[in-house]
Amino acid sequence: MRVAPQPLASKGVLAATLIIIAWAGLLTYLLAFYKPNWYSPAPYLLLLLQTHLYTGLYITGHDAMHGVVSPNKRLNNTLGTVATLLFAYNWFPGQLAKHHAHHRYVGTPDDPDFHPEGHPGFLPWLLRFAWNYVTWWQILLMAATYNILKIWFPQASVIAFWMVPAVLATMQLFFFGTYLPHRGEHEADNQHKSRSQLRHHVWAFVSCYFFGYHYEHHDQPYLPWWRLWQTKTADSNGLN
């Protein structure tokens, strides 16, 4: 279902700001104040919540790449830069160029998300994906930040609530945003070489901020993540 564009007003900025504040606030609490009992389920549930907020950071940056965080380009790009930097020091301008190449050349050797050996399994494709996107600067900055953080905060908490969620969110974004929608063969008339998960708005949000409605995103990239659910009507339940 096609959804008409609407003026962004301040909704995109509000969504981006809330995600950034929630991520920073929860991380501050988990590192500075929370005393985890590793024998209870609570810290692991909080780890998963922080993972979800990490994913939200990248989805915010992704929306900024499409200019749908704010109609003010400077504010849009600033929020996108902040969100992506907080997610393991991803660099917004570099991500921007690669993401638009993905949309323009989807499913071809010029697509940076595409695996040149066809359609391998999850792990080989993930490693190729990481090779294309992770830089040495990110690794060095993450290592330096880790060594600084563990001076002031418990090492186990830094690993569990700062490092592990970033890794899990990266895998989550790849699984729901690249591997599932783009794997395998697609019909000749599928211009976006993409498919979508079944219509289930709660799961779609929890799993990846509606990013599993992936064909719809490629077809209507002007929709921010919080409007993607509108593309799925009751009669659009199948995979594209």
Mean pLDDT of the chain: 90
d(CA 225, CA 30): 27
pLDDT band at 31 (very low <50, low <70, confident <90, very high): very high
At residue 40, the 3 state secondary structure works out as coil
Mean pLDDT of 167-175: 95
Residue 6 lies in a domain: no
Residue 2 lies in a domain: no
Residue 4 lies in a domain: no
What pLDDT, on a 0 to 100 scale, did the predictor assign at position 44? 98
Domain span at 122 = 11-231
- Whether the CB-CB separation of 112 and 132 falls below 8 Å is answered with yes
Sign of CA dihedral 222, 54, 128, 44: negative
Residue 182 lies in a domain: yes
pLDDT tens readout for residues 215-238: 899 989 999 999 999 998 745 544
Amino acid at 140: L
Residue 3 lies in a domain: no
Number of domains in the chain: 1
- pTM comes to 0.91
What pLDDT, on a 0 to 100 scale, did the predictor assign at position 237? 46
Residue 131 lies in a domain: yes
Q: Which of 36-40, 89-93, 104-108, 119-123 has the lowest mean pLDDT?
A: 119-123
Residue 1 lies in a domain: no
Q: How far is CA 77 from the centre of its chain?
A: 16
Mean pLDDT of 86-104: 92
Residue 237 lies in a domain: no
- Whether the CB-CB separation of 27 and 161 falls below 8 Å is answered with yes
Amino acid at 8: L
pLDDT band at 183 (very low <50, low <70, confident <90, very high): confident
